[in-house]
Every structure is written in structure tokens, then in C-alpha cells.
A = this chain, B = another copy of it.
Amino acid sequence: MAEIRRIGILTSGGDCAGLNAALRAVVYRAVDGYGWEVVGIHQGTAGLLARPVDAEVLEKSQFTGMLLRTAGTILGTTNKGDPFDYPLADGSRIDRSEEVIDGYRQLGLDALIGIGGDGSLDILRRLAVQGGLNLVGIPKTIDNDLGHTEVSIGYATAVNVATDALDHLQPTAASHSRVMVLEVMGRDAGHIALSAGIAGGADVILIPEIPYQIAHVAAKIDALKQQGRNFALVMVAEAVKREDGEPVMHTQASGAVTYGGIGHYISERISEITGAETRITVLGHVQRGGMPTPRDRLMASVFGVHAVDLVARGAFDRMVAWTGRQVVDVPLADAVAGYRAVEPEGALVRTARGLGISFGDR
């Protein structure tokens, strides 16, 4: 096993809260625990594609103050530019993976810690296999859809922000006798909508894992009215489709047609059927940037320290993970293959049904 002297770190994919806490943990552990140098690579793999390579040596002193408490990533990140399928200006695509691997060599790295979700970690893993890079992964995704770990960085804060939005909407819904529809992030999975919906007192939760009929949603809202409730809270994951399974089309002010806006669709349909006054809120990017919750900071710290320890032990091609109150590590190949959707019969869905929350399926 080659001696480690200098490691790289990068953040990849969509940003979230807790990334800076993970960077801090990596730097503290590598510098103080092992005496290594840590090179922060800018903009994910784009920093390794740039010439000269776009990177900086990270110092402990950078992390003394507020960074632990600050969302985002000081390294920058991107969710564009897969180096195996890199888009050129003319619309064609080429394989630039060797350039990335060469960037790693140019930096003189002995290992690389990559922080990303399933997509980013899969790309990093393929690069590592191809180039013989020493890679350790740290899981990060606000969507919480990575299997093999109970916790991914960013999810806890995203749930907090979404719950906070419901907390804001409840009083105004009740004051004006309205149905409030809240669309939250969740590209494929409904975890944020489900957890924040329960925690925030939603009456209806629509997630991609459970097909719905708008008639059932309307029936729930009518039933609440029968019981004397003058308002309702409806949580919708952005990945939900129209009732007919089609994505929602959206005409921009410019005339362009885009997709998205399921919340508007649900809001309009509820209004049509029930006659209720509805209002839609699309939470958007504020979900990424909240001050990281203590849990996200704690888990990011656990992952950062453990990832460095894996590098020290030469345990590469692995991802750190959290399960059953323990930090563990799993093969990266398993990690990126282990997608986890919401379980339609799982504990949280059963809890939601037990509270009378409708998923629009019955």
C-alpha cells in the first residue's frame, strides 16, 4: 500500500446543507490526524477538466468560523458535464474521462474523496476504475434515495425547510379557509414530501411511489370540510406526474414549453372539483440552502472523519454509510446501485395513513 501524502476532495451534483461540514471534517482529520495535505477541487469533475487544474490547498483555518454552519459548498459544484458524455457547444457529446484522470495525476493525488449522490458517485467510480484512482465516497442527496445508508448529507435540512414552509402555510390557510398546495423537491423519490408532510401536519401527501387519483384527493378535502375543517394542507413531490401519468407541460412567458409545475396542476384540479379556494407554493431552491441542521452537521462530520480513515487504511472503492447507530462502509458499486424509494408499506406510510393522511390512492 502506497503511502498517502496528498488527497483530493470534491463535491459533485446538486449542492445541499452540510457539505462544508464534511469538508471541514476531512481537512481536520487528514491534516491533524495524518499530516496529509488536502486539495479542494473546484466545481466537481469540472475542476479536474480545467487546464490548469482548478483546485486549491485547503487549510484548517478556513473552517474555524461559520462554514460549519453554512449551506452550500465552498468548492462549488455542478450537476452538468458528465465527463463520459460531455456536451459540446455544437450539441455533440464526447468522452473526456481521460482528461479528468489526467487532472488527478497532475495534482499528484494519492487518493480522492468524492461527495455526491448516486449519479455523481457512479461517474466517479467509473473514473476510478478506468484510471486506477483511489476513491472513497461520501453520500449526499437531499432526496435520501441512496440505499445502504440510513443517512445522506442534506436530507435532514431539506425536510426542515419543507416542514417550516407547512408551518408557515397552516395559519394563513386557516385564516382564509383555503387549500394550500406545497410542491417540494424530490426528483424521483418522495421522502422529503412524506417526512415533512407528516411532521408539518399535511392532510394529503402525493409521492411518485404511490399512484393517485385526483378524485380521491378531492374526496379527502370534502371529508375534512364535512368534519368542520375550513382548510387543508396538500404536499406534493415534484416528481409526481399528472393523473394520466404524463409530465405537466408549462408554457413560459417567452412562449417556450417546459415541464414541471405539478403543484399548479394539482392545485387547479382540486379547485375545479371541490370549488375550494386553492393556493400553490413551489418551494424551490430555498430547500437547498437552509442553515444545516445539527443532524446534517453531525453526520457530515462522521462521514468526513471516517472517509479519511478509510483512505488511511487503503480501503478504496467504498462509500461511508450510517446504519444502526454505527458508521460503516460499503462497496461503492453496491452503494450506487442501491436506489431506495419510499416503501408503500413502510413505517412512515403506515404512520401517515394512521393519522388519516390521504395518498390519493383510495
Give chain A's interface residues, CB within 8 Å of chain B: 11, 14-15, 17, 19, 25, 28-29, 32-33, 43, 60-61, 64-66, 68-73, 76-79, 150, 156, 159-161, 163, 165, 167-177, 180, 195-196, 198-201, 227-230, 248-254, 261, 264-265, 268, 272, 279-291, 293-295, 297-298, 301-302, 305-306, 308-309, 323-327, 346-348, 350-351, 354-356
- B68–A201 contact, CB under 8 A? yes
A355 CB contacts on chain B under 8 angstroms = 25, 28-29, 301, 305
Contact B61 A70 (CB under 8 A): no
B281 & A281 in contact (Cβ 8 Å cutoff): no
CB within 8 A of A33: which of B180, B298, B354?
B354
- A281-B284 in contact (CB<8A): yes
Contact with A281, one of B25, B196, B285 (Cβ below 8 angstroms) = B285
Determine which of B168, B272, B326 lies in contact with A289 in the assembled complex, contact meaning CB atoms within 8 Å.
B168
Q: How far is the CA of A294 from the CA of B65 in the complex (A)?
A: 21
Query: In the assembled complex, which residues on chain B have CB atoms less than 8 Å from the CB atom of A170?
Result: 65-66, 72, 289
| Bound CA–CA A25/B289 (angstroms) | 24
Bound-state CA distance A73–B230 (Å) is: 13
6 new A-B contacts at CB < 8 Å, known A65-B174, A196-B294:
A43-B177, A168-B287, A180-B285, A200-B294, A301-B355, A302-B347
Docked pose: A302 CA to B172 CA in angstroms: 23
> In the complex, A241 Cα to B244 Cα: how many Å?
36
CA distance A161 to B161 in the complex (A): 12
How long is the Cα–Cα vector from A79 to B256 in the complex, in angstroms? 34
